[in-house]
Chains A and B, each alone.
Chain A
Amino acid sequence: MAREDDLDRRRRELEAALSARRPETDGEKRSSRSGGLAGAGNALKLSSEFIAGIVVGAGTGWMIDRLAGTSPFGLVIFLLLGFCAGVLNALRSTGQMAEFGSRPSGKDGDGDGRN
């Protein structure tokens, strides 16, 4: 039993140490504290991601309409898809959504492809 108590105590200590360290490493808290400028940068970043999705969706739809003569349905459908892609982009850039593929990035070190 003494061993489990010991483990429990160490776990609590680790928790305390981590929570003491967390405010320093937590990027989101820091950016919200520094206020306006970081907020403006974030706003520009997120809006560019969102708008890019819509623009590409609308552009694709318009091109399909022109090539296939399906006006206005291509534009309607791809504009909606563009909205979805824009939201997806924005969520991805805030890190609330998995990146392309769901593998841990980098550091795989199997240097097979060094051609």
Chain B
Amino acid sequence: MASDPIHQFNISKLVPIEIGGLDFSFTNSSAFMVATVVAAGAFLFMSTASRGLVPSRMQSIAEMTYEFVANMLRDAAGSQGMKFFPFVFSLFVFVLVANLLGMFPYFFTVTSHIIVTFALAILVIGTVIVYGFLKHGLGFLNLFVPSGVPGVLLPLVVAIEIISFLSRPISLSVRLFANMLAGHITLKVFAGFVTSLSAFGIVGIGGAILPLGMTVALTGLEFLVAFLQAYVFAVLTCMYLNDAIHPGH
């Protein structure tokens, strides 16, 4: 097993496919995306297959997830936002399950690649822009015009607001990607200390207890981060959708 902490993010082609000079290979990343979708879909399907009025444990987990996302969306975007519920729920579950699958040893973490998180963020912002223009027409542009700004400053403020809006997908994707990448590298580095220290005989094994404890603590923290980042991603999606539903004041 390679000991460098970056090795775990390597993309390897499982089934090389090339169509018209473009690389459409089925990689380990794609495999874990499929695994994420299958795991999430199978869990939700099986936990709700035998529905009871008194839910079983698995059913109540599925129901809690539903309630959690529904409340989040309703708080952020109002009852009109509920038509985006399937979208937000899928995003939340996909990111959460991908993060959690990445916590298995030797597994690949899909969300530790910025192109994946950026694609998700572009999907969110694209939905916001398309829906905003469809629903409000040019009135959607009111989003960029804060009320009560003197006319002289208006072009400057509008330019800043537009840049601020365009930077949203970048900060949204960078946050998820950086958290997962940094967490996994830290975990790997501390776990690497354990093996390299224990090579120094009995003193080294005594000293290796410290990084071992740290690794255990970091693993717990990583589970927290995996959940928290999925939550943050979904909350920000809800807030951006709110801008598309109610632009202006």
B-side interface size class = 35 or more
Q: Per-residue CB proximity of B177-192 to A under 8 Å, as 1/0?
A: 0110010000000000
Report B-chain residues with C-beta under 8 Å of the C-beta of A41. 228
Whether A52 touches B168, Cβ cut-off 8 Å, given contacts A111-B80, A113-B80, is yes
- Beyond the given A81-B156, A85-B161, A101-B142, could you list 12 further A-B residue pairs with CB under 8 A, ordered by the A residue number? A41-B228, A48-B170, A48-B174, A51-B174, A60-B163, A84-B163, A89-B167, A100-B247, A105-B78, A105-B246, A108-B78, A113-B245
Interface residues, chain A, CB within 8 Å of chain B? 37, 41, 44-45, 48-49, 51-53, 55-57, 60, 78, 81-82, 84-86, 88-89, 92, 98-103, 105-109, 111, 113-115
Interface residue B51 (Cβ < 8 Å from any Cβ of A): no
Report B-chain residues with C-beta under 8 Å of the C-beta of A37. 221
Which residue of chain A has its CB nearest to the CB of B83? A114
Report B-chain residues with C-beta under 8 Å of the C-beta of A103. 246, 248-249
Which residue of chain A has its CB nearest to the CB of B148? A102
Report B-chain residues with C-beta under 8 Å of the C-beta of A107. 75, 78
Neighbour of A109 across the interface among B78, B135, B228, B239, CB < 8 A: B78
For residue A76, give the distance in angstroms from its CB to the closest CB of chain B. Answer: 14
What is the CA–CA distance of A24 and B171 in the complex, to the nearest angstrom? 30
For chain B, residues 218 to 249, give those with C-beta under 8 angstroms from any C-beta of chain A.
221, 228, 239, 242-243, 245-249
Q: Is the CB of A88 within 8 A of B160?
A: yes
Report A-chain residues with C-beta under 8 Å of the C-beta of B78. 105-109
What is the CA–CA distance of A19 and B100 in the complex, to the nearest angstrom? 40
Report A-chain residues with C-beta under 8 Å of the C-beta of B174. 48, 51-52
For chain B, residues 81 to 131, give those with C-beta under 8 angstroms from any C-beta of chain A.
81, 83
Neighbour of A53 across the interface among B143, B147, B167, CB < 8 A: B167
Q: Is the CB of B178 within 8 A of A89?
A: no
Which residue of chain B has its CB nearest to the CB of A93? B171
Interface residue B76 (Cβ < 8 Å from any Cβ of A): yes
Can you list 11 residue pairs at the A/B interface with Cβ under 8 Å?
A53-B164, A60-B163, A81-B156, A84-B163, A85-B164, A88-B164, A101-B246, A106-B74, A106-B242, A113-B80, A114-B83
Q: Is the CB of B147 within 8 A of A102?
A: yes
For residue B127, give the distance in angstroms from its CB to the closest CB of chain A. Answer: 15
What is the CA–CA distance of A37 and B175 in the complex, to the nearest angstrom? 15
Q: Is the CB of A106 within 8 A of B75?
A: yes
What is the CA–CA distance of A49 and B245 in the complex, to the nearest angstrom? 23
What is the CA–CA distance of A60 and B160 in the complex, to the nearest angstrom? 12
Which residue of chain A has its CB nearest to the CB of B145? A101
Q: Is the CB of B79 within 8 A of A102?
A: no
Q: Is the CB of B179 within 8 A of A44?
A: yes
For residue A31, give the distance in angstroms from its CB to the closest CB of chain B. Answer: 13
Interchain residue pairs A-B with the least CB separation, the first 7: A52-B171, A52-B167, A85-B163, A52-B170, A85-B164, A106-B78, A56-B167
Q: Is the CB of A84 within 8 A of B160?
A: yes
Q: Is the CB of B179 within 8 A of A55?
A: no
For residue B112, give the distance in angstroms from its CB to the closest CB of chain A. Answer: 14
For residue A12, give the distance in angstroms from its CB to the closest CB of chain B. Answer: 33
